[in-house]
Structure 1
Amino acid sequence: MPLFPPASCSRLVVKIGSALLVDADGQVRRVWLEQVAAAIARRHAEGQQLAIVSSGAIALGARRLKLPKGGRASLEDAQAAAATGQIALSQVWAEVLHAQGLTAAQMLVTLGDLEDRRRYLNAAATLDRLLNLRVVPILNENDSVATEEIRFGDNDRLAARVAQAAGAQGVVLLSDVDGLYDRNPAQPGAQHIPRIERIDGAIEAMADGGSASGMGSGGMVSKIAAARIANGAGAHLAIASGTADQPLSAEARHSLFVAERTAPARKAWLAGGLTARGKLHVDAGAAAALGQGRSLLAAGVTRIEGSFARGDLIVIVGADGKPLARGLSEYAAEDAANILGRRNEEQAELLGYAPRSALVHRNHMALL
């Protein structure tokens, strides 16, 4: 039985890591990719719509440009490798899908495309139209223009964000590992974790940040971060090994992160945001109120970090330092600091204008 069968998952996002698509010599693993394309075609024939998040551009470009360290010696090398390799990556995907009677489309996105609400909605509309046209979108981060400060940095989190934008019910991260283990799987006695109902501190402690192949940019840490984003949007996420033949068709061993519920689209977007401009630290009373679905009032805020404007995404942090929620600030950082810890009736005099009902309104907030 395949992962996320079409009958129960009308839309699926599949992420393919560099180590699976490109061999140690920087060549495309064409035979393996043709098998994946055949599996995609079978799923399409059964009515499932698929989007692919494909790594490999930097690895392919680095070989063609003869760059050291797989094109990752510097940001400039990575950008040049990405620009060169993306053409080759798109071409090979178009060829293998065309051989199966499918049409491919390329979408290159940056972090800003999915963090800015308007651009996010534009990307979501494009994805929706392509999928409804029975096209297979091939997505990748636009590494030729991204910098360290404005990039996803790994395609695991990108895949989860794409699933959110596409309204997908499932995400499969095909990798060189077959799931989450209670410790580094290279260590003796490591136990495979087949199902994760809730991502907590114990699950996060099992992660290893390294990329085993040396070609990728993320390890298990990025995959758990991706699972948080996908689950927050109501999509289940599986980490599965892509080293087996036809990994989407075989009953490959995997770890499944189970989504508890489907969040409203706007709140799912807020919860999955990666580029918060600041933090609001709150006391125990405010934390309890948030848990009851209430707005965040200035009276419960103990400390402010960052420089943000009204409408910017911020993180609300509890007394223990753990994030509680993400939301859009109703005030710029300077005004927020002026009313820190003050009750509503005191705020008008401090601000010089009528205060808003909350520092972060519940309608513009997503609990984590």
Structure 2
Amino acid sequence: MNPSQTIVVKVGTSSLAQPETGKLALSTIAALVETLTELRQFGYHVVLVSSGAVGVGCSRLKLTEKPKKIVIKQAIAAVGQGRLIRVYDDLFTALNQPIAQVLLTRRELMERSCYVNAKNTFDALFELGVIPIVNENDTVAIEELKFGDNDTLSALVASLINADWLFILTDVDRLYSADPRTFPDAKPIKVVNSLELDKLEIKAGGKGSQWGTGGMSTKLTAARLATSAGITTVITHGKKPGNLLKIIKGEDIGTKFEAQLNNDNARKRWIYYGLLPRGKLYLDRGAVKAISQKGKSLLPAGIIKVEGEFDSLEAVQLYNESGQEIGRGIVNYNQEEIDKIKGNHSDKIPELLGCHGAETIVHRDNLVIN
């Protein structure tokens, strides 16, 4: 084990709550708290991304199912979040482990100054020996700025703090070729490398449990995000949190997604993982080669199509002619301006737009290649 490492643990509602009632499974939570405290005592920096606020709120309000209206969900989350953090605080306090509550929305990661400040806050909490407990700020998050599920949130937090490990605790012991509860002959998947992850297709349900928001497909998306940021990711059983220590020691438990080599700087991680793309630019072969192989900026001459509505200084996805995403970047012009100058040399920009502007559509410092 390497106690200087940083670990993010995401626990889902299916692990925290009893499936029949939605009430908290206190014995499981206590075991999780004990394991995370032990990791902290070994010297690891630990972050817990916890679901459960809506489920706990439903239980407290004696609701038999989770509502669908966003405003009702937000109100219920406000009821449940206080109860959930109180339970964590009581259990961690019994072990003399201080915790902090960190509530995030996508907006905090989209604004560069907020992103840097969030990173600094996590670093300060680590220095103080605190375990941050993270959840989406459901009460104020608007739909277009929501993470969507805590699997995605955990991967983005892991990238933000440059973590070494991301553990996604769920209701199965590892990933299978199909749902083992429905397909008894489903094959276990123990290790997945980056090439296999891109090709991985399983019969994974799109939805989670009655009280949760994410199915196995969201966990695969989180694994793609985290491993591409250089973070080893493991899917394992949430009812057996003690296995985290065994996995770190090298035992063959759960499904391990191998980290890719990651040389991106902090700003480029923010561009790729923090920003929410607002549009798409399709590039010709010459432009793809220039930005992906030669490290050059994206010029208007290489753009063949523009999609979406976006302003200058917003993020867009970059695609090749085959429709494959090759990268992301921050644009110097809005979509109307790019539509006017696409396919032309940079020296035509003043004539086409009626004013002088940047020669590049995306400067190489604001460009991240997949």
The 5 A counterparts of 1:276-355 are 276-292=277-293, 293-355=295-357
The answer to whether the 8 A contact 1:199-1:228 is kept is no
The answer to whether the 8 A contact 2:22-2:55 is kept is yes
The 5 A counterparts of 1:60-71 are 60-69=56-65, 71=66
* Aligned-residue RMSD, C-alpha: 1.9
Q: Which residue of 1 aligns with 2:94?
A: 99
Q: Which residue of 1 aligns with 2:255?
A: 255
The answer to whether the 8 A contact 1:67-1:77 is kept is no
> What is the TM-score normalised by the length of structure 1?
0.92
The answer to whether the 8 A contact 1:240-1:252 is kept is no
Q: Which residue of 2 aligns with 1:112?
A: 107
| Separation in structure 2 between the aligned mates of residue 274 and residue 176 of structure 1, nearest angstrom | 30
Per-residue deviation at 1:202? 5.3
Task: Judge which range, 143-152 or 127-136, deviates more.
Answer: 143-152
Q: Which residue of 1 aligns with 2:265?
A: 264
The answer to whether the 8 A contact 1:344-1:355 is kept is no
Q: Which residue of 2 aligns with 1:359?
A: 361
Query: Structure 1's 231 and 245: CA in aligned 2 closer, same or farther, altered over 3 A?
Result: closer
The 5 A counterparts of 1:173-192 are 173-185=168-180, 186-192=182-188
Q: Which residue of 1 aligns with 2:232?
A: 236
The SS at the match of 2:322 is coil
The answer to whether the 8 A contact 2:347-2:359 is kept is no
The answer to whether the 8 A contact 1:173-1:237 is kept is yes
Query: Structure 1's 209 and 342: CA in aligned 2 closer, same or farther, altered over 3 A?
Result: farther
> What is the TM-score normalised by the length of structure 2?
0.92
Letter paired with 1:348: P
The 5 A counterparts of 1:6-17 are 6-7=2-3, 10-17=5-12
The answer to whether the 8 A contact 1:204-1:221 is kept is no
Per-residue deviation at 1:180? 2.7
Query: Structure 1's 169 and 207: CA in aligned 2 closer, same or farther, altered over 3 A?
Result: farther
Q: Which residue of 1 aligns with 2:77?
A: 82
The SS at the match of 1:249 is helix
Q: Which residue of 2 aligns with 1:124?
A: 119
| Separation in structure 2 between the aligned mates of residue 27 and residue 252 of structure 1, nearest angstrom | 32
Cα offsets for 1:83-133 (capped at 9, x unmatched):
000001100111111111100110111111112222111111111111111
Per-residue deviation at 1:66? 2.3
Structure 1 segments, 4+ long, off by >6 Å, are none
The answer to whether the 8 A contact 1:207-1:221 is kept is no
Per-residue deviation at 1:342? 0.7
2:135 aligned residue (115, 134, 140):
140
Cα offsets for 1:122-152 (capped at 9, x unmatched):
1111111111110011010011122322201
Per-residue deviation at 1:176? 0.8
Task: Judge which range, 93-102 or 288-297, deviates more.
Answer: 288-297
Query: Structure 1's 343 and 184: CA in aligned 2 closer, same or farther, altered over 3 A?
Result: farther
Cα offsets for 1:299-344 (capped at 9, x unmatched):
1111111221111011111212221111100112221111011112
Cα offsets for 1:241-268 (capped at 9, x unmatched):
1123623234472122222222211111
The answer to whether the 8 A contact 1:238-1:256 is kept is yes
The answer to whether the 8 A contact 2:298-2:363 is kept is yes
The answer to whether the 8 A contact 1:20-1:243 is kept is yes
The SS at the match of 2:317 is strand
Letter paired with 1:276: P
The answer to whether the 8 A contact 1:168-1:235 is kept is yes
Task: Judge which range, 129-138 or 240-249, deviates more.
Answer: 240-249
1:217 aligned residue (206, 213, 217):
213
Per-residue deviation at 1:228? 2.3
Letter paired with 1:257: F
Per-residue deviation at 1:212? 4.7
Unaligned regions of 5+ residues in structure 1, if any? none
1:151 aligned residue (126, 136, 146):
146
Per-residue deviation at 1:179? 3.1
